[in-house]
Amino acid sequence: MGTSQNRVSREQWWPRYSGSSDATMGRGKPARILIVDDHEDNIELLRARLEARGYCIDTAMDGEQALARVANTAPDLILLDVMMPRIDGFEVVRRLKADKTLPFIPIILQTALDSTEHKVEGLDAGADDYITKPINFAELEARVKSMLRIKALQDALEERERELSEVNSQLLKMAQTDSLTELDNRRYLEQRLDEMFEHSRRLREPVAVVLCDLDRFKSVNDTYGHQVGDVVLKELARILKKEAREIDRVGRYGGEEFMLLLPGTVLDAAVTFAERVRKAVEAHTFSFDGGTLQRTMSCGVAAWPHPRIADCDALVKAADDALYVAKETGRNRVIRFDSQAFNEHTQGKTDDPHAEIDVSDRALYPAGAGDGPAAGEDRGASTRA
Ligand code: GH3
Ligand code: MG
Ligand code: MG
């Protein structure tokens, strides 16, 4: 049977309040009350009574001063006179309640006007309660306490919301991140590629995918143990991240396979980039507790637009096919989809052996499509150095 064991009890996060004359409302420090009135006598009277009850009092002599005080330090409650020169109490309420940067501050209007009209206007303006002058102190104290209780609940609720939203963003981050390398995980990468591809298609901008796979990585595990294998993967992730631009996405696609998404990048530029990364890995000495080792990496590169790449899945498959050829033809190399080396190796193995490959601008940007690059424009120039 499910018991209350799993349930968060109210007391765990609803604030406790004693209902006594405790001016701290269970928060450990006295509540701060701002008294606003244009008559100093009224202020001093209220100040004396409330201070005697343990509240911490701040004062303002008009609406403008009141707004300035609140902007400086938000009080826990405001006792606000209605009739004041220039900015009256109603206007102060309106402005404070419209300010979304402020926490919830209960406002009790105090007015000499015992008319329903004024009460309604005050409450409509956003005041939380009102009290009529001449002030009955016992009643005022009860209303102050009641408002401070609501404030404590509201603050706890806001705090709880902040915590929940923090936890939510942590969870979201976890759902998108590979825990070992802290790179994007496969699901998130695929999501990003979908978006990137759609964006590229819309704007007729190129997009490239590089798939990388460590060579003979199994032997690292077999020789040095799985933990050292993990160290190598983490280190490789760091190298990839360092070589990539800010706008590129770098992720872990599978065990020792990594994927880079390069927006605005044509095939040539993506191959140059992959070659640079491959060299960086080859030159790197992986250090671990008790030794060092060297590794190489193979890469497959593909880019859109390409006559044989119709969609996102085809783009990934093209990069994967190229990676396969890189492995088959000796590892530690970058193979470009549709290159001579690729085609020689895959001849007779393609799904469509009659497919003619035309990589001219005409094929990539058919006449009438309108948005192809202008004559002489270097499509690679905008991509990477
Ligand atoms: P190839 O050059 O053909 O890619 O050879 P390889 O040994 O790298 O490839 P293979 O697919 O035979 O082995 C991949 C190895 O990667 C096997 C698997 O145990 C290891 N691996 C996958 N994920 C992890 C991981 O998170 N940590 C560690 N330490 N090893 C992993
Ligand atoms: Mg007045
Ligand atoms: Mg491998």
Residue range 75-88, pLDDT digits in tens: 999 999 998 888 99
Question: How much is the average pLDDT of 362-372?
Answer: 39
Residue 24 pLDDT grade (very low, low, confident, very high; cuts 50, 70, 90): confident
Residue 3: C-alpha distances to residues 6, 9, 14, 103, 167 (Å): 7, 12, 20, 36, 25
Q: For residues 76 and 350, which has the higher predicted lDDT (pLDDT)? A: 76
The pLDDT tens digits of the residues spanning 176-215 come to 999 999 999 999 999 999 999 999 999 999 999 999 999 9
Partners of residue 349 on adjacent β-strands:
none
Domain layout of the chain by residue ranges: 32-162, 178-364
CATH second-level architecture of 178-364? 2-Layer Sandwich (3.30)
Residues forming the active site:
256
Residue 29 pLDDT grade (very low, low, confident, very high; cuts 50, 70, 90): confident
The position carrying tokens 């992730």 is 237
Question: pTM value?
Answer: 0.69
Residue 112 pLDDT grade (very low, low, confident, very high; cuts 50, 70, 90): confident
Q: Which atom of ligand 1 is nearest to the CA of 232?
A: 29
Residues 347, 184: Cα–Cα separation, whole Å: 34
Which chain residues have CB less than 5 Å from ligand 3, an ion?
Answer: 213-214, 217, 256
Residues framing ligand 1 (Cβ under 6 A): 180, 213-218, 221, 226, 229-230, 233, 255-256, 327, 331
Which pLDDT does position 146 carry in this prediction? 96
Which pLDDT does position 120 carry in this prediction? 87
- Protein residue with its CA nearest to atom 26 in ligand 1: 255
User: Ligand 2 center to residue 8 CA distance, Å?
Assistant: 47
Domain 32-162 has CATH 3.40.50.2300: yes
Average pLDDT of the chain, as a whole number: 87
Q: What is the per-residue burial (b if ≥16 Cβ within 10 Å, else e) of 4-15? A: eeeeeeeeeeeb
> pLDDT exceeding 70 applies to what percent of the chain?
83
Residue 18 pLDDT grade (very low, low, confident, very high; cuts 50, 70, 90): very low
Question: How much is the average pLDDT of 344-368?
Answer: 52
Q: What is the per-residue burial (b if ≥16 Cβ within 10 Å, else e) of 216-255? A: ebeebeeebeeebbebbbebbbebbeebbeeebbbbbbee
Which of 234, 256, 296 to probe ligand 1 with, by most ligand atoms within 8 A of CB? Answer: 256
The pLDDT tens digits of the residues spanning 232-284 come to 999 999 999 999 999 999 999 999 999 999 999 999 999 999 999 999 999 99
Question: How much is the average pLDDT of 330-337?
Answer: 98
> pLDDT exceeding 90 applies to what percent of the chain?
76
Radius of gyration of the chain (CA): 34
The pLDDT tens digits of the residues spanning 279-303 come to 999 999 999 998 999 999 999 999 9
User: Ligand 1 center to residue 244 CA distance, Å?
Assistant: 23
User: DSSP state, 163?
Assistant: H
User: Ligand 3 center to residue 303 CA distance, Å?
Assistant: 22
Residue 14 pLDDT grade (very low, low, confident, very high; cuts 50, 70, 90): very low
User: Ligand 3 center to residue 298 CA distance, Å?
Assistant: 8
